[in-house]
Chain A
Amino acid sequence: MSEFLLTWSLVLAQILLGLAMCCATFRLVTGPRAQDRILGLDTLYVNAMLMVVTFGIRSGSSLYFEAALVISLLGFVATVALAKFLMRGEVIE
């Protein structure tokens, strides 16, 4: 019972997160301006981090937790660098 419930709820959650990642990728590819693309990239990072966490629940190992932490760190740095680039025209002044 509990195995059935967990399996199907996690598969469904991964499908929903995959759809969310598709939406973010669409905005990343077809965003009318650069700031829309950066917003799509930020959303894609957060959704991918949540997807990795659900993979960790499915596999039952806490190894995926470190991957999720690294993804969220890299997403923060990437978005800040890109926003700084939009603002100033260079990242490190």
Chain B
Amino acid sequence: MTLAHDFPVWAAILVAFFVLGGSAITLVGSLGLLRLGTFYARTHAPTLGATMGMGTILCGSALYFSVLETRPVVHEVLIAVFITLTTPVTLMLLARAALYRDRAEGSPDVPAAERMEEAPQRPESAENRSEHEEPAR
């Protein structure tokens, strides 16, 4: 525990506000992951922590180190950019995989807009298979 003794009070209040707010928002998102009913509802909840919670906590960290070292320290932006770029990719892949699995089983949990009446089809697998088979023929 090596906090600076001469840290200015205004910066301490701002850092405390950012860090506490971000962790509270993250906790709300994780509680949503715990409490919501179906998988498709649960997918939305943790993005609270991955966007707003992550942003505010990293803002607090950048502010703390900038005031501590009396120069702008912005390397937290790296984490922010990386998480912002990767979270939609992972959640879209995961939701597509879950949708494929639920369609293949005929599960009633699939949202009404995504429900298909005909037999489930593996997306893109037909093209891939034909691409793989063409050189053999």
Contacts and interface: CB of A to CB of B under 8 A. Distances in A.
Interface of A: 1-3, 5-7, 9-10, 12-14, 16-17, 19-21, 23-24, 26-27, 33-36, 38-40, 42-43, 46-47, 49-50, 53-54, 56-60, 62, 65, 68-69, 72-73, 76, 79-80, 83-84, 86-87, 93
Interface string B37-72: 001001100100110011001101100110010000
Q: Is the interface of B mostly helix, strand, loop or mixed?
A: helix
B110 interface: no
Given A5-B12, A83-B94, A86-B97, A20 B26 contact: yes
A73 B83 CA distance: 9
B53 A50 contact: yes
Contact of B89 (A2, A14, A80, A86): A80
Contacts of A13: 19-20, 22-23, 57
Interface of B: 1-5, 7-9, 11-13, 15-16, 19-20, 22-24, 26-27, 29-31, 33-34, 39, 42-43, 46, 49-50, 53-54, 57-58, 60-61, 64-65, 68, 73, 75-76, 78-79, 82-83, 86-87, 89-91, 93-94, 96-98, 100-101, 128
A5 B4 CA distance: 12
